[in-house]
A and B are shown apart, each in its own frame.
Chain A
Amino acid sequence: MKFTFEPEQFAFRDAVRRFLVVEAVPEVLRAFWETQSGRSPEMRAKVTDQGLTALSVPEAFGGMGLNDLDWILILQELGYHGIPESLSDSAYLGVDILRNLPDGVALKKEWLERIAAGKARIAVGHPVNPFVADAAIADLLLLWHDDEVHATTPDAVKLTLQPSLDQSRRLYRVEWQPSAATRVCDAATGAPIWRDACDRAALSVASQLRGLAKRMLDLGVDYSAQRKQFGRPVGSFQALKHHLANVAVAVEFAGPVIHRAAYSMAHGHPQRAAHVSHARVVAGEAAWLAARNSMQAHGAMGYTWETDLQMFMKHAWALDSAWGTRAFHKSRVTAAVLADGMALGPGATFI
């Protein structure tokens, strides 16, 4: 039993963090978000140089063959820096669906290689979400239809943009006709693929939300150290210390829950869905608390468009309903806990 990451996993996380600190500063993100696509090809090229697009593509297809545990720390960094979900959708989620397709499927090799090389964006549509993020700029759309996997392209479907409060999001209603030509695999093959893909997507959201919570916490701590009222930093007032300390506790305790869920996904644990949902619930709670309390620490400044905090708050509020609302995930935890024969109590945490 050893509940920690390997030194290489931390080292990779740190490298990604150093990269994002320089390349993904809030002014740069704001500039991307004001464009129509909301995305930047230059940024994607840099991300590819960091190896992020190849992370979980199997080695046979030009990738690094890494798994959920390698992703999980990176996903938190993506959240912390407000990197839009499209990277996770392509390189984590899209790859997951493609690599689990039977080897005979023609598009599997082509697209895995393209993703690894940073040459493809994937958007994924599943009924757990009413909309598909980044559908217009995707090179390939992977869509659910009665548990089958279908593949198509944006020009073959009808897209309706749904403007979001979160400027980083590009959501679309997708109307399309499933056909033999779009079908990639049947329902029997597709059902387990979709099950795990949805859980991975939710896990990704959880880790991003925790990163967002940490970012908002850091912004609140920084601001309250600099802002002076009554002749001293507002952070010296106990009320604000307690607000931010409460966020720190929530962020801290979400970590191991998320990391265990990643382990469960990587190892096909029978309770992985409940573990992911547990992670989603606590990460969502931490992110909302962080938004509220950091906003409060900022005073009126937190209510402005100018402050960076708003970018992260809005991203957190929006993401909390992606790939299942918090209510949906709470209901899955509830069902697991109340199920007959569920192993509960001391000694039942691991198997």
Chain B
Amino acid sequence: MKIREIAQVLEAKIEVEGDSLDLEIEAACGADLMSDVMAYAKDNVLLLTGLVSPQVIRTAEMLDIKAVVLVRGKKPDATMLKMAAEKGITLLTTKESMFTSCGKLYNLGLTKRGIRD
């Protein structure tokens, strides 16, 4: 699923448009714990999180994650916006909860898990 389609499905606001909205995403992981993401995330995943912290963008950068969704209507702070823009990471915000965000994306074909065992 393209990042652009993910934004549509979640009725998300594009806070930062990263390198490309046409990038194909194959898998996703939902997590508030960045150490978990770093322990297990695969390549080319979407990160959904309820955490507002610059460390979310840093973690995405370390793992080459190209798109991040902030769920539950959370708003990114100025540092996050600036960092995402610098690093070419797309940052989306949605009013949907973590559960419904994941459910909607799964329903429409984003079914691969973003983590290893």
| Interaction A to B | no
Give the interface of A toward B (CB within 8 A): none
